[in-house]
């Protein structure tokens, strides 16, 4: 049983479709019941085992309700893919940030992911097995840290830290927690500046939930391969990317 947040379009929808094709029962979530049910119906029409559920990652009650409902309805909860996120401050500098946008971005991207993790983990622990995958960005690593989109960068850096901390806490519970970057994907977040499609990028996010019990945890991946959290020693390059990836 897998839950994918923000799964009514783009990368989230592609991840849900690939997980369902791999044989998992998948719950697609979206901020509205209508969007979640519409996407579930579309994927069910392809012969896949998919259902929909409303989930607003900025609403603690909505998060708690969705995760509890999944555990109760299906009797188990194995996989959480934290995909839902926003990007609303392209080009902004930290020295002149719009703090309202910063607060909104941190609430959605970091706290939203954190809320989903804390609500899902008790459900996952009941069966002694679980996989959590946080969708992050190259822009949230110190290896690619630079100017622009400051709240997005900081939020994804927090998501990266959260994955590492949870992995350290939970590895004795057969619960693997990893982060992965899709790169520049052709979704609304990319504003057209993309180098591959959601279907191309989704492969890594459909693979990580199938890791064996002795698989990696607390790591960052890109295109099925480990990606460095930090810049190599001695590197002085300043990244100037302003588009989420």
pTM of the model: 0.91
Q: For residue 37, with 0-12 CB atoms within 10 Å meaning exposed, 13-18 middle and 19 or more buried, which class applies? A: middle
Residue 72 falls in the annotated catalytic set: no
Q: Which pLDDT score is estimated for 194?
A: 63
Q: Which residues of 138-155 are buried (b: 16+ CB within 10 A; e: fewer)?
A: bbbbebbbebbbbbbbbb
Nearest alpha-carbon partner for 217 in 168, 159, 173, 162: 168
SS3 state of residue 132: strand
- Supply the pLDDT for residue 147: 81
Task: Give the tens place of pLDDT for each residue, 68-100.
Answer: 999 999 999 999 999 999 999 888 889 998 999
Please provide the distance, in angstroms rounded to a whole number, between the alpha carbons at the two ends of the chain. Answer: 27
Distance of CA 190 to the CA centre of its chain: 16
Specify the pLDDT at position 78.
96
Question: How far apart (Å, rounded) are the C-alpha atoms in residues 112 and 82?
Answer: 9
Domains of the chain listed by start with CATH number: 2-226 (3.40.50.720)
* Catalytic-role residue among 72, 74, 152, 191: 152
Q: Mean pLDDT in runs of 10 for the chain (245 residues)?
A: 96 97 97 98 98 98 97 94 94 89 97 98 92 92 80 94 96 93 73 75 96 96 88 45 41
**According to the model, what pLDDT value does residue 120 have?**
97
């Amino acid at each position: 049983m897998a839950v994918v947040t923000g799964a009514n379009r783009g990368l989230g929808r592609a991840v849900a479709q690939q997980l369902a094709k791999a044989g998992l029962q998948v719950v697609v979530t979206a901020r509205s019941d209508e969007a979640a049910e519409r996407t579930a119906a579309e994927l069910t029409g392809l012969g896949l085992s998919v259902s929909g559920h409303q989930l607003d990652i900025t609403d603690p009650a909505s998060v708690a309700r969705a995760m509890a409902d999944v555990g109760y309805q299906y009797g188990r909860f194995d996989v959480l893919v934290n995909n839902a996120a926003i990007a609303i401050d392209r080009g902004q500098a930290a020295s002149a940030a719009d703090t309202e946008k910063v607060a909104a971005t941190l609430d959605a991207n970091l706290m939203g992911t954190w809320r989903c993790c804390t609500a899902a983990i008790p459900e996952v622990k009941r069966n002694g097995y679980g996989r959590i995958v946080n969708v992050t960005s190259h822009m949230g690593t110190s290896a690619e840290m630079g100017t622009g989109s400051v709240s997005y960068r900081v939020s994804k850096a927090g998501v990266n830290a959260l994955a590492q901390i949870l992995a350290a806490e939970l590895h004795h519970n057969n619960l693997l927690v990893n982060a992965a970057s899709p790169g520049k994907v052709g979704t609304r977040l990319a504003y057209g500046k993309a180098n591959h499609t959601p279907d191309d990028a989704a492969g890594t996010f459909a693979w990580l939930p199938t890791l064996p019990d002795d698989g990696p945890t607390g790591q960052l991946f890109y295109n099925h391969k480990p990606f460095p959290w930090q810049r190599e020693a001695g590197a002085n390059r300043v990244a100037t990317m302003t588009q989420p990836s």
